[in-house]
């Protein structure tokens, strides 16, 4: 017999080796010896009150063993000689599209402009230490895409787009910890995700797929509303039948290429702002009611999620990284972009989060209308160039203390930071467009009311957080093909159809299923 239970236990019970089992037995009115096994399905923390509770969703097995195998099976077969599907980009969407192609009996041929995970590290070091951006290998481009070196957070609200559990199980199949199957806000960690990504690539190659790094697509040959060939940077040309375009939200050259060829694109609303960084112990003190004390060792670094309406415009936290780092996410020299990441243990002494506001492509960008469908992209670029200039024309980022930003004062000094290229004091409050800066200043004040202690001079505001999602969408029909180019399948974040690792992976699978017919 199997019983499903919702259990709540406190810190003292969580600390006991059999605390959860004892609670289950008590709720069922039986002895622990009568329970043959327990499977944890979900775990979350309720820290709204001082008496912190752990919420568990479990299955209790009575007189039968707990199954040791997953309900999910991945039927990879040799596709060495199968019909090819070309996939441009090897982020989450491209990786999962390739894996699904193999399951469906098609040969994925992946073209990735960046380098493999190991070789990317040297280019990331060059950004942090030498302030030099390799435009094909950086925090956004390369094996695994932006997610590989920017945290590996797996939380998603896209529950209707596909089978979220299947995505998680596949990550576990390729080496991720099975804890991601349980945690309410699952996370792999920047230090562990590269190995998982490498395992996925090796599996694709093992079953007959191909993955080509440092292979940038520069042009398409189109005949009769179909792409018949792809041109590469080395002037090589590849004949193609079907193309899954999974290039991510920062592949601006692809957007320009499509626009130059008069292939339909649309400007897309998105969000922009800054990254705010607090000492982690401040956030722990607020969330766990332990100000002045260290959080309990059973509690992870605290996170937060904040939202506020300011003049009918949303201001909200984005990609919150407890115990994390701020990293330089520019994809070209002459721009400064910041993003956040966390190691698996989330044990750094800082907490950071994007704080962004909505930019409506139809209403807010009237000065950019002459750029047509690329107007939001050009707006984004201008803000990143501004940050580059304000940061000293290096990868140093412009910054202010949080209270100075809100009060409109230049900071005479800045707090310690996790951002390796360094910070430069700058008047972000006046440099940012009013639509962004004014909204953020009011938003931060409201956040300080919601989280007492959040609004503090001990926090830095760092600019700019501009790559929250794609500023361009590539339309597609119900068959997931472009309405004008019938063998082109826009996919993932770059097409405007995802907002993170999991939703991109699900969209990659959907596009593979649509292409493999």
Contact 400, 425 (CB under 8 A): yes
String of DSSP letters for 431-493: HS-HHHHHHHHHHHHHHHHHSTT-S-TTSEEEEEE--SS-SEE----TTSS-SSSTTEEE-HH
Q: What is the pLDDT of residue 424?
A: 98
The H or E element spanning position 355 is strand 350-359
How confident is the model over 430-450, as pLDDT tens digits? 999 999 999 999 999 999 999
3-state secondary structure at position 89: coil
Contact 321, 351 (CB under 8 A): yes
Q: Is the N-terminal amide bond of 307 cis, ω within 30° of 0?
A: no
Going by their DSSP bridges, the two strands 107-111 and 210-212 should be labelled as parallel
How confident is the model over 482-495, as pLDDT tens digits? 999 999 999 999 99
Q: What is the 3-state secondary structure (H, E, C) of 373-407?
A: HHHHHHHHHHHHHHHHHHCCCCCCEEEEEHHHHHH
Residues for the chain: how many in total?
517
- Give the separation between CA 494 and CA 257, rounded to whole angstroms: 14
Category of 131 on φ-ψ map: left (φ > 0), alpha (ψ -120 to 50) or beta = left
Q: Domains in the chain and their CATH numbers? A: 2-62 (3.30.70.2700), 84-265+474-516 (3.50.50.60), 267-465 (no CATH)
Q: How many other β-carbons are positioned within 10 Å of the β-carbon of residue 407? A: 13
- Give the separation between CA 252 and CA 138, rounded to whole angstroms: 14
Q: Which of 509, 103, 461, 411 is nearest to 274 (CA)?
A: 461
Q: What is the pLDDT of residue 149?
A: 79
Q: What is the pLDDT of residue 159?
A: 60
Convert 358-372 to b/e letters by CB count within 10 Å (16 or more is b). bbebeebbeebeeee
How confident is the model over 125-162, as pLDDT tens digits? 999 999 999 999 999 999 999 888 766 778 777 666 67
Q: What is the pLDDT of residue 156?
A: 73
Low-confidence ranges of the chain (pLDDT < 50): none
Contact 86, 238 (CB under 8 A): yes
> For residue 247, what are the CA distances in angstroms to 46, 169, 171, 212?
38, 24, 21, 14
Q: How many other β-carbons are positioned within 10 Å of the β-carbon of residue 135? A: 16
Q: What is the pLDDT of residue 68?
A: 77
Q: What is the pLDDT of residue 21?
A: 96
Output the pTM of the full model.
Answer: 0.95
Contact 120, 149 (CB under 8 A): yes
Contact 182, 41 (CB under 8 A): yes
How confident is the model over 81-123, as pLDDT tens digits? 999 999 999 999 999 999 999 999 999 999 999 999 999 999 9
- Give the separation between CA 63 and CA 317, rounded to whole angstroms: 47
């Amino acid at each position: 017999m199997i019983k499903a239970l919702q259990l709540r236990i406190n810190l003292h019970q969580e600390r006991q080796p059999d605390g959860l089992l004892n609670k289950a037995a008590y709720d069922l009115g039986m002895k622990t010896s009568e329970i043959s096994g327990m499977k944890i399905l979900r775990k979350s923390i309720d820290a709204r009150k001082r008496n912190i509770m752990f919420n568990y969703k479990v299955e209790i097995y009575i007189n039968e063993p707990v199954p040791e195998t997953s309900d999910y099976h991945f039927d990879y077969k040799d596709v060495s000689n199968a019909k090819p599907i070309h996939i441009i980009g090897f982020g989450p969407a491209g990786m999962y599209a390739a894996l699904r192609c193999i399951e469906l009996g098609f040969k994925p041929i992946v073209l990735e402009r960046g380098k493999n995970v190991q070789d990317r590290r040297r280019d990331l070091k060059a950004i942090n230490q030498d302030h030099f951006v390799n435009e094909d290998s950086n925090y956004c481009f390369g094996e695994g895409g932006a997610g590989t070196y920017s945290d590996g957070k797996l939380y998603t609200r896209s529950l209707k787009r596909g089978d979220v559990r299947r995505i998680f199980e596949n990550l576990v199949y390729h080496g991720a910890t099975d804890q991601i199957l349980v945690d309410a806000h699952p996370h792999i960690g920047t230090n562990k995700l590269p190995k998982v990504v490498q395992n996925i690539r090796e599996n694709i190659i093992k079953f007959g797929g191909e993955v080509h790094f440092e292979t940038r697509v520069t042009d398409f040959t189109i005949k009769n509303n179909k792409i018949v060939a792809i041109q590469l940077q080395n002037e090589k040309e590849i004949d193609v039948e079907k193309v899954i375009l999974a290039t991510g939200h920062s592949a601006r050259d692809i957007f320009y290429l499509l626009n130059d060829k008069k292939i339909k694109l649309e400007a897309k609303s998105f969000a922009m702002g800054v990254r705010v960084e607090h000492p982690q112990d401040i956030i722990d003190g607020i969330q766990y009611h332990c100000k002045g004390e260290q959080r309990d060792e059973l509690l992870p670094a605290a996170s937060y999620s904040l939202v506020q309406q300011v003049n009918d415009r949303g201001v909200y936290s984005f990609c919150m990284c407890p115990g994390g780092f701020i990293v330089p996410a520019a994809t070209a020299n002459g721009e400064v972009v910041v993003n956040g990441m966390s190691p698996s243990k989330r044990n750094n002494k800082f907490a950071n989060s994007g704080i962004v506001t909505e930019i409506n492509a139809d209403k807010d960008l009237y000065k950019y209308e002459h750029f047509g469908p690329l107007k939001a992209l050009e707006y984004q670029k201008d803000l990143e160039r501004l940050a580059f200039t304000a940061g000293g024309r290096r990868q140093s980022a412009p910054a202010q203390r949080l209270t100075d930003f809100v009060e409109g004062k230049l900071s005479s000094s800045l707090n310690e930071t996790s951002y390796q290229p360094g910070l430069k004091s700058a008047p972000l409050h006046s440099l940012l467009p009013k639509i962004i800066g004014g909204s953020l200043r009011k938003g931060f004040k409201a956040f300080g009311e919601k989280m007492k202690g959040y609004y503090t001079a001990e926090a830095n505001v760092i600019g700019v957080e501009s790559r929250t999602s794609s500023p361009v969408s590539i339309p597609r029909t119900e068959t997931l093909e472009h309405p004008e180019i019938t063998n082109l399948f826009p996919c993932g974040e770059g097409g405007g159809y995802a907002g993170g690792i999991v939703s991109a992976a699900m969209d990659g699978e959907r596009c593979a299923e649509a292409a493999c017919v």
